[in-house]
Chain A
Amino acid sequence: MATPFTDTAPGGAHSIRPCWSCRGPAAGDAAFCETCGVIQPPGQEDHFARLGLERRFDLDAGTIDRAYFARQRQVHPDRFARRAPREAAIAESRSVSLNAAYQTLRDPLRRATYLLELAGHPIAGDGKTIADPELLAEVMERREALAEADSPEAVAAVAADARHERVSAEAALGAAFAAGDYPAARRHATRLRYLGRLAEEARRRSAMRAA
């Protein structure tokens, strides 16, 4: 098989690779060969490109869902049950890569983490430690509030507060990404992660109470 040719021309880097079926040229990121119409294996494109979405943080859930559904409708292996086994296997690998993209982009925190990676500003050490003293103080304060919550209402209040703060952290993240301020985006993403954990812990606490 020929080596894929990469076009590095400005204004949209894309590649041409041979279609596995008709062996003619196919666009590197196209789901189907435009000559013979046969499904193509997933290429090297990023998760945003896989879903045909702009590379940005501000994406609403509905937009991501619609892009995902439209593509799964075309490439899900169930659509290829009547076709040659090779086509079904390729459809499955395409469906797998769509699911990976959807899982990464649907969740705001994962989307932010991924964007930071793409931008070359990954969150260090998986974000398991907090270097920012201000955030550290906030996290400790909220944890204490949860630990001291001694009624279902008090736990619910901590959870509601965390949910509320997550919304504002997401807004701040959007602004930071829009401004290209990656250190700020990293800080807000770390904060979002801790608020998420807190909400999860509060959920577990109330589930335990209910049981």
Chain B
Amino acid sequence: MLLQIHEPGQTPQPHEEAGVAIGIDLGTTNSVVAVATDGKAEVLRDADGRGLVPSVVAYPDTGEPVVGEAARRTLLDEPDRVVSSIKRLMGRGAKEVQALAGTLPYRIVDEASGGMVHIEVAGRRLSPVAVSADILRALKARAEAALGRSVDRAVVTVPAYFDDAARTATRDAARVAGLEVLRLVNEPTAAALAYGLDREAEGLYAVYDLGGGTFDLSILRLERGIFQVLATGGDAALGGDDFDHAVAEHFLARIGGAAPTAGEVKLTLATARLAKECLTSQEAGEWQVELANRRHPVRLDRPTLEGLIAPFVERTTEICREVMAEAGIEPAEIAGVVLVGGATRVPLVRRAVASAFGREPLADIDPDEVVALGAALQAEALTVGSDTLLLDVTPLSLGIETMGGIVEKVIPRNTPIPVSRGQEFTTYQDGQDGMLFHVVQGERETVDGCRSLARFELQGIPPMTAGAARVLVTFAVDADGLLTVSAEERTTGARQRVEVRPSYGLAEEEMVRMLRESMEHGADDMQRRLLIEARVEARRVLLALAAARSADPELLPADEGAALGEQAVRLEALLSGDDRDAIDGAVEELERRSQSFAQRRMDKAIRLALAGRSIDEVAAETPGPAA
């Protein structure tokens, strides 16, 4: 097609923000930050060469929170001040985490008002968003120290199976940490990106991602720079942490005695993790667990470990089989299996993956770092440009509760995003002037088997008989996987007021307060962003006018051309200044002065078309095969 010669990005656009963008893997157990230059990604390390930042935050009595290795060390002395595995609580309600309560090493605050769960640690009441923001702030600081410049934009990864509430919470945490999220990318997709670019892989690939707290299996097609996700499935509450808990429970059961304190549980978990990691390379070992100020030796060998974790590993391979069957893909068609997440170091996991797919999995990129590397590559692609493109899908079905608690699916899972889809609903009572909607996510047919995302009410429906109103509810999922819902009553055509109350979000005031507290320069940043946007918009208008003038010079009389030129020069001059209102005003004036020129250009095209000599005749001939 002739029109395809206009490649987007070819028209010169100003690089107002030449600042670097980083890639962040915000993990349950560890986080990693990386940066890419010229298609080569690199993990940013500390002075000791460590790339992993433990996702652990310690809250001292006074002063700033401590993140990472140092916080993990505090765990031994002051376990009550330390928060770990916070990712498992992102976008969760208090009732939902009750099941985890025994295993989570901190106190859950019962939230009378509903919404996202909060925790209490060292006398502070914290949301998972605030704790995650502390980790992200540390990663930002590490990047700034390594790069020697300020960093304010990032691609942040999330488990493919993260639902809308957890994604929103992640993006909010980044905002609180002073990072603009360029894109939320699914972890397996990021891993595939790192592999695909590195190995120039083509064909069908499976990404087996067993993180600390989540498991995903994604199947992607790689084809000349396109990364198309075909199917994804997983379990948002299954991960390497479960291995640790199984081992810790085994230790505690062996020792017996009184119930351990919360601090003792944390220490036992740390020992369990150490034992699990040691048994990756050795056959057996002995460790110490301290209970009631007494040290107890504990032994563990690999067969026992494998017996303890086998149920979790089996659940992952079961999900692998389900995802492949649903996508209609045979294991033999898979060209490679990529391992992601520290838990994939466990020998039993590798054996299970090899047997499920009938081939040895790939692990030549460090499974702890591969996701951050992919995120960094995507950050570079978004800020500098790239030939690669990620085409992702919705991991879970989105729907609306209807009569009798049945879920009407509006967007089924594995639908390519961005997507927008509408569904009509009607009233069931005469004169009904409002409708309540309950938005849910999940695969079950009934609402209690799905996860509540939000409730909203459509008001002001004109009085009609039951079933006469036609309310169109539109679900839009953007490329970040974030959902927006809107509703409109179609018989009157008027868009009605919609109030969405997220089921597990943060209260608006809390978010605003966090943003204010965290960014002394928040207001300045906002002003700067608006100024940059005004400049970008002004340059677009100037470029559009220049293009129009060179396309139809004969339609612009000399005096009008001179007036336009004058205004364009005025606008150009304003662009080097900081006066946003003046720029906006000059843009408006330029558009006003060029209005009649634009009208003449339209008129000419219509005249030509009427004469049967349309300007795009060649291009629009017949829709032939793809170019």
Contacts and interface: CB of A to CB of B under 8 A. Distances in A.
Nearest to B619: A27
A103 B321 CA distance: 24
B8 A80 contact: yes
Interface string A156-183: 0000000000000000000000000000
Name the interface size band of chain B. Answer: 35 or more
B466 interface: no
A76 B598 contact: no
B543 A36 contact: yes
Interface in B520-572: 533, 536-537, 540-541, 543-545, 547-548, 551-552
A82 B382 contact: yes
Nearest to B183: A78
Contact of A84 (B182, B476, B537): B537
Q: What range describes how many residues of A lie at the interface?
A: 35 or more
B383 A27 contact: no
A203 B324 CA distance: 11
Interface in B177-229: 182-183, 223-224, 226, 228
Nearest to B480: A77
B625 A82 contact: no
B418 A22 contact: no
Contact of B10 (A19, A37, A49, A54): A37
Nearest to B543: A36
A1 B9 CA distance: 26
B622 A39 contact: no
A128 interface: no
A31 B3 contact: yes
A87 to B, nearest CB: 7
B574 interface: no
A22 B545 contact: yes
Given A22-B598, A27-B620, A96-B420, A16 B609 contact: yes
A54 B547 contact: no
> Interface SS of chain A: helix, strand, loop or mixed?
mixed
A92 B544 contact: no
Contact of A21 (B1, B540, B623): B540
Interface of B is mostly: mixed
A67 B605 contact: no
B513 interface: no
Residue with the greatest number of chain A CB neighbours at <10 A, chosen from B9, B605, B626: B626
Nearest to B477: A96
B20 interface: no
Given A34-B6, A37-B11, A92 B479 contact: yes
Contacts of A33: 6
B11 A2 contact: no
Contact of A24 (B389, B419, B601, B624): B601
B7 A74 contact: yes
B460 interface: no
B382 A81 contact: yes
B183 A35 contact: no
B390 interface: yes
Interface in B573-627: 594-595, 598-599, 601-602, 604-606, 609-610, 612, 614-616, 619-627
Interface of A: 2, 5, 7, 9, 11-12, 14, 16, 18-19, 21-25, 27, 29-39, 48-49, 51-55, 63, 65-67, 69-70, 72-87, 91-93, 95-96, 99-100, 102-103, 203, 206-207, 210-211
23 contacts: A2-B599, A22-B547, A22-B598, A23-B595, A23-B601, A24-B552, A25-B601, A25-B604, A25-B605, A25-B615, A32-B6, A36-B11, A49-B623, A52-B623, A53-B625, A63-B625, A69-B389, A75-B8, A78-B389, A82-B15, A82-B383, A82-B385, A95-B479
Given A36-B548, A80-B8, 15 more contacts: A12-B620, A12-B622, A14-B620, A16-B606, A16-B616, A23-B548, A25-B615, A30-B619, A35-B547, A52-B627, A55-B623, A70-B627, A74-B7, A77-B418, A82-B382
